[in-house]
Amino acid sequence: MSFMCRVCDSTALEPVLDLGDQPWCNHFLTKDKIGKEPFYPLRLFFCTKCATSQLDYTVKKEVMFGDHTYLSGVTKSLSDHFKQVATDVDAKFFRDHTQKSVLDIGSNDGTQLKHFKSLGYDVLGVESSKTTAKIAEDAGIPTRNEFFNLDSIEKIGRKFDVINASGVFFHLEELHSVTKAIKKGLKDDGVFVVQFLYMKSILENDAFDQIYHEHLLYYSLKTIEILLNRHGLSMFDARLAPIHGGSIIGYVGHQGARSETARLKAMRAEEVQSGCNQIDAYHSFAKRVAAMKERNVEMLKKARAEGKRVFGMGAPVKGNTLLNYFGVGPDLIECLLEKNTLRRDLYSPGMHIPILIEGEVPETPDIFYVLAWNFKKEILANNQALLDRGIEFFFPIEPKLSA
Ligand SMILES: [Zn+2]
């Protein structure tokens, strides 16, 4: 391979999973744009030197993050999770501080910062999507509408007690510039809270749909620590949360500033045990994913043949990886029901399934094909009445951990 590892610069990368050419998965389409969306290769490579799995092809960040429609405040379990993070960080590290500040990178609609604000923090968000940044500003969360990097931390010109980056560390095209900027913007005793999809959980859940163009990198503890250490930062504690089927909340400080917890050491040992930093784990993952495609397409075709109606539950970005790789379109799944009204009347990229808003559709299907599988508990709890009527909820991916 001719490209370099995004973390360690090695060129020793091996292809492990090919999901075909796919459109940018957050590119929900208006009717007039159907069929005009560009497709890009979606291939996962494994670095045999540092074990970071990553995409070889980069869709430009201006294309992907200029105006996305993902809102973190929409889902209750996600909002609860953000509250928990703010409460934990404050209780552990900054309870006695009278003046405290937090910078949120990729602050989205300000959901995370609202929780910090109510705990007395001086808050600042950085968000690249104009629409989303405005939603945060309107809600009283000061937000800079730009991409975060070394340049922005210089312009901001101060240091923070807490820097938070939730679900952004794998988006980053400017990985090293951003990590340097975090190092620069963090006070001496500051805590950088990094939240990311845990590659070990992705492998355990067979959650291949988490692989999409926005996620350039997929981390384990080992691989994120390689990146952090390269820039004078080190993780001193971590926990596993059920968000997105298994996410790490890592606590990071300046190298040597804080001592490592027993909990972190235990998680590292478990990770080694799991084999998730070995290429073999990826080869068997690829086999299971191919088998899953066969099983799911067969199930949907059978439902169709029996005259059953199938609706998608949720139109999450990751659902598009799954639908495009499976080749499942409106002939098999009539529509996708979604909560986020920004996606009203749009069509899924690639497969062009129409998106309708939950609660606005009078009919019910025979089967809900649940694309937002990571919210399994919340979804089943909210739909008891439908379950009682015998409507089936099919989860293409069964999370070992669920929110
Ligand atoms: Zn590498």
Contact present, 108 and 65 (Cβ < 8 Å):
no
Q: What is the tens place of the pLDDT at every residue in 77-96?
A: 677 888 999 999 999 999 99
Is the confidence at residue 65, as pLDDT, over 90? no
Give 48 Cα–ligand 1 centroid separation in angstroms. Answer: 7
Would you state the pLDDT for residue 111? Answer: 92
Give 47 Cα–ligand 1 centroid separation in angstroms. Answer: 5
Is the confidence at residue 243, as pLDDT, over 90? no
Would you state the pLDDT for residue 41? Answer: 96
Give 11 Cα–ligand 1 centroid separation in angstroms. Answer: 8
Would you state the pLDDT for residue 361? Answer: 92
The pTM score is 0.89
Q: CB under 8 Å to 323, separation ≥6 — which residues? A: 329, 333, 348, 350, 351, 353, 371
For the residues 371-385, what does the mean pLDDT come to?
91
Give 75 Cα–ligand 1 centroid separation in angstroms. Answer: 35
For the residues 372-382, what does the mean pLDDT come to?
90
Instruction: Indicate the pLDDT class of residue 170, thresholds 50, 70 and 90.
Output: low
What are the structure tokens assigned to 317, written together? 């970005």
- Other beta carbons within 10 angstroms of residue 46's beta carbon come to 24
Give 146 Cα–ligand 1 centroid separation in angstroms. Answer: 28
Weakest-pLDDT range from 27-31, 251-255, 285-289, 390-394? 27-31
Give 399 Cα–ligand 1 centroid separation in angstroms. Answer: 28
Would you state the pLDDT for residue 69? Answer: 56
Would you state the pLDDT for residue 72? Answer: 56
Q: What is the tens place of the pLDDT at every residue in 296-334?
A: 999 999 999 999 999 999 999 999 999 999 999 999 999
Give 113 Cα–ligand 1 centroid separation in angstroms. Answer: 33
Would you state the pLDDT for residue 173? Answer: 66
Give 210 Cα–ligand 1 centroid separation in angstroms. Answer: 20
Q: What is the tens place of the pLDDT at every residue in 39-53?
A: 999 999 999 999 999
Is the confidence at residue 376, as pLDDT, over 60? yes
Weakest-pLDDT range from 81-85, 265-269, 345-349? 81-85
Weakest-pLDDT range from 167-176, 183-192, 212-221? 167-176
Would you state the pLDDT for residue 172? Answer: 64
Provide, rounded to the nearest whole percent, the portion of the chain with pLDDT above 70.
Answer: 94
Give 276 Cα–ligand 1 centroid separation in angstroms. Answer: 15
Instruction: Indicate the pLDDT class of residue 403, thresholds 50, 70 and 90.
Output: low
Q: Which amino acid is at 16?
A: V
Report the chain's mean pLDDT, rounded to a whole number: 92
Give 101 Cα–ligand 1 centroid separation in angstroms. Answer: 34
Give 1 Cα–ligand 1 centroid separation in angstroms. Answer: 13
Give 274 Cα–ligand 1 centroid separation in angstroms. Answer: 20
Is the confidence at residue 14, as pLDDT, over 80? yes
Would you state the pLDDT for residue 323? Answer: 98
Weakest-pLDDT range from 65-74, 132-141, 358-367? 65-74
Give 340 Cα–ligand 1 centroid separation in angstroms. Answer: 37
Provide, rounded to the nearest whole percent, the portion of the chain with pLDDT above 90.
Answer: 80
Contact present, 169 and 209 (Cβ < 8 Å):
no
Burial status of residue 49 (CB atoms within 10 A of its CB: 0-12, 13-18, 19 or more): middle
Give 182 Cα–ligand 1 centroid separation in angstroms. Answer: 21
Give 165 Cα–ligand 1 centroid separation in angstroms. Answer: 22
User: Among 53, 112, 108, 54, which residue's Cα sits nearest to residue 86?
Assistant: 112
Weakest-pLDDT range from 75-89, 181-195, 215-229? 75-89
Would you state the pLDDT for residue 59? Answer: 86
Would you state the pLDDT for residue 66? Answer: 59
First to last CA, the chain: 38
Please state, in angstroms and as integers, the Cα–Cα distance from residue 385 to each residue in 50, 359, 382, 390, 391, following that order.
49, 14, 8, 9, 9
Helix orientation angle between 76-89 and 111-118, rounded to the nearest 10 degrees: 40
Q: CB under 8 Å to 212, separation ≥6 — which residues? A: 22, 25, 42, 317, 318, 320, 321
Contact present, 52 and 3 (Cβ < 8 Å):
no
Give 400 Cα–ligand 1 centroid separation in angstroms. Answer: 28
Weakest-pLDDT range from 31-40, 48-57, 170-179, 368-377? 170-179
Would you state the pLDDT for residue 399? Answer: 81
Would you state the pLDDT for residue 74? Answer: 54
Give 49 Cα–ligand 1 centroid separation in angstroms. Answer: 5
